[in-house]
Amino acid sequence: EAYQVLEACNLCGNLCGVNRLKGQKGRCRVGKELMVASGNLHLGEEPPISCERGSGNIFFTGCSLRCLYCQNYPISQLGVGRIVTSQELSEMMLLLQNKGAHNVNLVTPTHFVPQIIEAVSLAWEMGFDLPLVYNTSGYETQSALELLDGIIDVYLVDMRYSDDRIAFSLSQAKNYTEINRNAVKIMYSQVGNLKVKDGLATGGLIVRHLVLPDGLAGSEETFEFVQKNVSEKAWISLMNQYFPAYKAFDYESLKRKATREEYQKATRKFSQAGLFNGWVQLEQEG
């Protein structure tokens, strides 16, 4: 049933409406076939996601956004990856479980929601029982998220911008703010606040916010939105790892990292907005 969405694809905010079942490709640059770039244990996520042994990250090829500064651009924009079946994806999930992963982390999964649902069902039948982390840029439609209700344990979602003009300039995403904020509210309605047991995330929402140079990310407005419309107890990962990559040098403000002062200002705005759960990153200047 989930595959019917692909006949006139509306999984993301681009609303391409192409028939991916017949091989047409939308903004995400993929058709019917599931494409995966890699599947490995990863220690670089938030503490309750990576914990001691690592998160089982599966990177999907393609993306619904076109961020000028994408650090994973070979996978997201240039099509690096291989075609796999839903059965093969389910076997990857089981392999990561057998390697000791604390969870399986689906990275940039939006455009493959129906195929992922099929793979998860197959994996469950074969004994897969880890939490599922849905690691996304947050440009999902309500249709996509309704399909995932009851399947995803942890939503790890970006809130990149508070200004649609900036979102379009940097990521070619139309109407980003409304779509993103609506998606986050739906995710929260499904899983609630972060739940941690023995240091491990078992369910809930984590919002990621990358501090960009020159205030381009609209941090203050994002924090205020989360506090007022999601939860004052929401967990925010305030990231300081921006560096110029891919086409960032085409845009003047993106040619440098965020300064220490810019990041510290964002951490102050976080507290001033009435939020208190989250993580900050140590300085990565130089």
Q: What is the residue-averaged pLDDT of the chain? A: 96
Element (H, E) at 67: none
The answer to whether position 114 is within a domain reads yes
Q: Residue 99's domain spans which residues?
A: 32-280
């003009």: which residue's tokens?
Answer: 165
Q: Is 150 part of any domain?
A: yes
Residue 43 included in any domain: yes
- Mean pLDDT across 33-49: 97
60 has which bridge partners? 36
What pLDDT does residue 51 have?
96
Mind listing the pLDDT tens digit for each residue in 78-132? 999 999 999 999 999 999 999 999 999 999 999 999 999 999 999 999 999 999 9
Residue 15 included in any domain:
no
With a CB cutoff of 8 Å and minimum separation 6, the contacts of 121 are none
What SS3 class is residue 125?
helix
> Percentage of residues in the chain with pLDDT exceeding 90?
97
* pLDDT for position 219: 98
Whether residue 180 lies inside any domain: the answer is yes
The mean-pLDDT minimum among 195-199, 233-237, 278-282 falls in: 278-282
Is the residue at 123 inside a domain? yes
- Reference 155, options 11, 24, 46, 76; nearest CA is 46
Closest alpha carbon to 101 in 40, 37, 38: 40
For 213, list phi and psi in degrees, rounded to 5: -60, 155
Which pLDDT score is estimated for 283? 61
Q: Which helix (H) or strand (E) holds 262?
A: helix 260-272
Q: Where are the alpha helices (DSSP H) in 126-257?
A: 142-148, 164-171, 176-191, 219-229
Instruction: pLDDT band for 285, please (50, 70, 90 cuts).
Output: very low
What is the tally of structural domains in the chain? 1
Question: Could you read off the pLDDT of 177-234 as tens digits, one per residue?
Answer: 999 999 999 999 999 999 999 999 999 999 999 999 999 999 999 999 999 999 999 9
Residue 14 included in any domain: no
The answer to whether residue 21 is domain-embedded is no
Q: How far apart are the first and last CA of the chain?
A: 50
The CATH number given to whatever domain includes residue 115 is 3.20.20.70
Partnered with residue 238 across adjacent β-strands are: 209, 280
